Amino acid sequence: MQSCKMKKFPWVSACAFLSMVIGYTATVNEFPGYEYRYACLLIVTVLLIRLVEMRFVHVPSVDIPLWISGLVIFSSYYLKFFLIAVDPSSPVRMGMLTTLTVPDPFISLALVKALAPTLIFDWSATQIISLSLCTLGVVGWSLTVFLIPTLKINNISKISTLKTSFLVEVTFVIAILLSIVIAWASYKYDIGVMGKNVSDILPMHLRGIIFHLNNYFLPGLILMVIALAYKSTKNLILVLGVVLLFMNGFINFVITSSKSVILWPALLVLFLVVTSGIKIGYRYIVGAFSGMLAILLFLPYMHAIRAARIAGTGGWESLLVAASSAKFEPFTLIIKSITWIIYRLPGIDIVAAIFGHHGAPLGNRVFEVLMSKNGVSGYLTNDIFLIPASYPHMNAPGYWGWWYLVLGLPGVLLGGVFLGLFIRLLWPLVLISRLETAPLLKVYTLMILFTAVSEGTIDSMFKIVIAMLGTIIFLELYIKYFTLWCDKTFFQITKVFGTK
What is d(CA 428, CA 430) in angstroms, rounded to the nearest whole number? 5
What is the predicted pLDDT for the residue at 492? 60
Single-letter residue type at 344: R
Question: In the chain, how long is the greatest CA-to-CA distance?
Answer: 91
Distance, CA of 445 to CA of 440 (rounded, Å):
8
Work out the angle at residue 274's Cα, subtended by the Cα atoms of residues 449 and 62, and round it to the nearest 5 degrees.
Answer: 65
Contact 299, 340 (CB under 8 A): yes
DSSP label at 329? -
404 — pLDDT class (breaks 50, 70, 90): very high
Percent of the chain topping pLDDT 70:
72
Whole-number pLDDT of residue 92: 54
**Pairwise CA distance, residues 208 & 440, whole Å:** 22
Residue 160: DSSP 8-state:
P
Statement: residue 120 has pLDDT above 50: no
pLDDT of residue 136: 94
What region, left, alpha or beta, does residue 257 occupy, with left being phi > 0 and alpha being psi -120 to 50 degrees?
A: left
Q: Rounded to whole angstroms, how far apart are CA atoms 469 and 144? A: 27
Phi, psi (5° rounding) for residue 33?
90, -10
Q: Are 27 and 86 in contact (CB under 8 A)?
A: yes
Would you say residue 286 has pLDDT above 90?
Answer: no
Q: Which residues contact 272 (CB under 8 A, 6 or more apart)?
A: 223, 226, 227, 278, 439, 442, 443
- Of the candidates 232, 243, 244, which has an alpha carbon nearest to the alpha carbon of residue 159? 232
CA separation for the pair 224, 479 (Å, rounded) = 10
CB 441 within 8 A of CB 432: no
- Does residue 325 or residue 365 have the better pLDDT? 365
Kindly write down the DSSP assignment for every residue of 381-438, as one continuous string: IIIIS---TTSS------HHHHHHHHHHHHHHHHHHHHHHHIIIIIHHHHHT---TTH
Q: 453 near 72, Cβ under 8 Å?
A: yes
C-beta of residue 69 within 8 angstroms of C-beta of residue 453: yes
pLDDT at 174 over 80: yes
DSSP string for residues in 179-202: HHHHHHHHHHTTTT-TT-------
At residue 387 the predicted structure's pLDDT band, cuts being 50, 70 and 90, is: confident
Lowest mean pLDDT among 31-45, 237-251, 433-447, 481-495: 481-495
Intra-chain end-to-end CA distance of the chain, in Å:
67
| Cβ atoms 56, 66 nearer than 8 A | yes
pLDDT, position 57: 84
Instruction: Give phi and psi for 28, each to the nearest 5.
Output: -60, -30
Higher-scoring residue by pLDDT: 406, 204: 406
Q: What is the pLDDT of residues 51-65, one digit of tens each?
A: 999 988 888 888 999
Listed range (32-36, 207-211, 237-241) with the worst mean pLDDT: 207-211
150 contacts 428 by C-beta, under 8 angstroms:
yes
Q: How many CB atoms lie within 10 A of CB 453?
A: 26
Helix (H) or strand (E) holding 137: helix 123-147
State how far the Cα of 23 lies from the Cα of 194, in Å rounded to an integer: 35
On the question of pLDDT at 103 being above 70, the answer is no
Does the structure show a pLDDT above 70 at 363? Answer: yes
Residue 346 near residue 401, CB atoms below 8 Å: yes
Residue 220's nearest CA partner among 63, 435, 490 is 435
Question: Residue 56, class by beta-carbon neighbours within 10 Å (0-12 exposed, 13-18 middle, 19+ buried)?
Answer: middle
Chain CA centroid to CA 364, Å: 31
pLDDT at 436 over 90: no
Q: Cα–Cα distance between 210 and 173 in angstroms, integer?
A: 19
Within 13 Å of residue 226, how many CA atoms lie on the same side as its CB? 29
